[in-house]
Amino acid sequence: MDLTHLRQFLLTLPGATEDTPFGPEILVYRIAGKMFALVDWQADPLSINLKCEPELALLLRELHPEVKPGWHMNKQHWNTVTLSDTLAEDLWQGWVHHSYERVVAGLPKAKRPQAPQAKS
């Protein structure tokens, strides 16, 4: 996993932004000002903190050695995922989508990203 590919993927999510409020070593991804992913871009391999439903977070930690309680985050709601070469891309991408959707669900409806309208 390389940083360029990861950043491009994260920024494809509707309304996603990137900033560095904790210093240049941690990239923070937000939707409507709320964090859904934090990337330690200097880690080798890369690691990412993702929001997760609490019961699923525990299950993922049991099933995948790459998943640990969230580093410097609420351990009940956040996981840290090591993006090793052995971790399937569809898995970590699904976890990113889960994190994003959890944050979007907590936003007021007026702040949620809107799907593009089909042309008639």
In this structure, of 49-53, 56-60, 71-75, 114-118, the range with the lowest mean pLDDT score is: 114-118
Average pLDDT of 98-102?
96
pLDDT tens-digit readout, 27-59: 999 999 999 999 999 999 999 999 999 999 999
Strand-pairing partners, residue 69, are 79
What's the confidence (pLDDT) of residue 57?
95
Joined tokens for residue 51: 């929001």
Query: Packing angle between helix 89-105 and helix 3-11, nearest 10 degrees?
Result: 40
Residue 41: phi, psi to the nearest 5?
-75, -10
Is the pLDDT confidence value at 89 over 80? yes
